[in-house]
Structure 1
Amino acid sequence: MEVLGVRLRIVFSFPGPSLVRWGYLNRLRGLIYAAVRGSAPEVAREVHELGLSADGKVYKPFTFSYLFPRRGEAHRDGIVVWGEVEWFFSTPIPALAEALAAGLLMMEEVRIGDVACGVERVEVMPPPECGGEMEFKTLSPVVASTGVRRGGKFEKVFLRPDQPDFARVLRLNLRRKHLAFYGGEPGGDVEFEFHPPFKSKMESVRGTKVRGFQMRLTMRGDPSLMRVAYEMGLGERNGQGFGMIEVAGRGRG
């Protein structure tokens, strides 16, 4: 039987103009753990300490998006938001989504860094029907990297969507996630078509610069791999807020 994950649409409410500073993915990640820990400590421990593993790699079984304000203005230091702001969270594990929703709704006040807001509502979004060909767009940057040897040192290089290795890395990553969650290899494979323009985004994660790309893309092939991409994220560092995708034309809400 196919296991269906959960996607949450979380709506924050900011009473007045508030500056959310850039680099807020780190703060949203902290909010996830705080909320889950507050409602289900055992779930928080399993997610934080264990994760899912395959081929020597460990994957956090969730991903989340950028913030999407109904009203907002970008500034040098961050984004000024007011009113309702949407945020999305996805996981193949229903208990984790339930714990996050419960934890957020228990909080009288939510803090994203030094900015306070309220939780207006938390909604479960209906899952898409995954077919043999689907078009997606990113809700947070997709990250793919490879290692190269330079001057006797091994360095990580972030790839662009127009480089052949970008698709190869994403494909291998999806297969490993499928193995980690379902316990077996997928029945088929998947091909990618990336649609320009590619918007480069640089984020700082615990002092490390991480480059990813916002774009639209088409996936063709095994629907189970598309579901893994939708529920756990596409590419690397999903648990840090990278690689969240939505079905193009479906709308976030």
Structure 2
Amino acid sequence: MRIKISFGGRGFVPFNYNHYLAGVLYRAFREADLELAYSVHKSKNIKHFTFSDLKGGRAVKDGLVFDMGGYFLLSSPRHEVLKAAVEGLLDNGVLQIGSERFHLERMEVLKTPEFNHMPVKLRTLSPINVSTMIKIPCGLKPWDLNPSEAKFYENLRRNLMKKYELFYDKPPSNTEVEIHPPSYTKQRRIEIKGTFHRAYMMDFSVSGSKELLEIGYEAGFGEKNSMGFGMVEVR
């Protein structure tokens, strides 16, 4: 399920706002359901929700200027997560994004597409991050992959499988999925709590398992989804 969250007001938001927007959602979770908020925050595993980039802002040198508000999308197969977000935002009525305070205008549930015809053409609404571990003299460190590398798609497929199995506690009936090379890519470099991550805006297509495509659509493609990476739409 996916909801559109619209806000009003004027203000400036710096480009590296992912942790601010995640903070908006976690505050909403706490307002509505403390137990859920604690379990989601403390979990080291996949959290099964994602959100889009902020929309409606005007890009300037260091960030986005909102003259008449804007919106973002929140998506999850976990209905309790969406319910807590909606209830918490309604209770508060304010979206504190960095140093700016915007007021909640409305929320609406968006229609979920049916993935009956393959391949499905997708476009990112927030960039996809995929990583691997590489050897360094003192051990291993994470390394962000790019769409020109075969391992990018291999790890993307594995991540979809892991998301599905963790959510449903069983493997999908069809495990075959092919993620076709993108027709468009743009690298983004995003800072979260002092660490920069390379991620990619992409137009790409997917064919194969409807189950894996659905979990990717609802929970996000790739990694760090709960920090606003990997949301897609059908194009």
TM-score category by the smaller chain?
A: over 0.9
Deviations 1:79-102 (A, max 9, x none): 111213120000111111011011
User: d(CA) in 2 for partners of 1:247 and 1:19?
Assistant: 30
**Contact 1:47/1:61, CA 8 A, preserved across alignment:** no
Query: 126-135 or 214-223: which moved more?
Result: 126-135
Query: 215-224 or 128-137: which moved more?
Result: 128-137
Residue from 32, 35, 38 that aligns with 2:28 = 35
Root mean square deviation of aligned Cα: 1.4
* Deviation, structure 1 residue 198: 1.0
Give the TM-score of the pair, scaled to structure 1.
Answer: 0.88
User: d(CA) in 2 for partners of 1:197 and 1:228?
Assistant: 23
Residue from 5, 8, 14 that aligns with 2:3 = 8
- The answer for unaligned runs of 5 or more in structure 1 is 1-5, 52-57, 249-253
**Contact 1:194/1:215, CA 8 A, preserved across alignment:** no
User: d(CA) in 2 for partners of 1:126 and 1:102?
Assistant: 20
Tell me the equivalent position of 2:83: 98
Q: Percent identity?
A: 33
* Deviation, structure 1 residue 44: 1.3
Task: Return the letter of the residue paired with 2:47.
Answer: K
Count of aligned positions: 233
User: d(CA) in 2 for partners of 1:47 and 1:153?
Assistant: 30
Tell me the equivalent position of 1:54: none
- The answer for unaligned runs of 5 or more in structure 2 is none
Give the TM-score of the pair, scaled to structure 2.
Answer: 0.95
Q: Does 1:107 align with 2:102?
A: no
* Shift in alpha-carbon separation, 1:152–1:40, aligned structure 2, 3 A: closer
Tell me the equivalent position of 2:73: 88
* Deviation, structure 1 residue 155: 2.6
Residue from 87, 108, 113 that aligns with 1:123 = 108
* Structure with greater proportional strand content: 1
Q: Does 1:66 align with 2:53?
A: yes
Tell me the equivalent position of 1:167: 153
* Deviation, structure 1 residue 152: 5.1
Task: Return the letter of the residue paired with 1:100.
Answer: A
Tell me the equivalent position of 1:156: 142
Deviations 1:165-195 (A, max 9, x none): 1100000000011110011111222101132
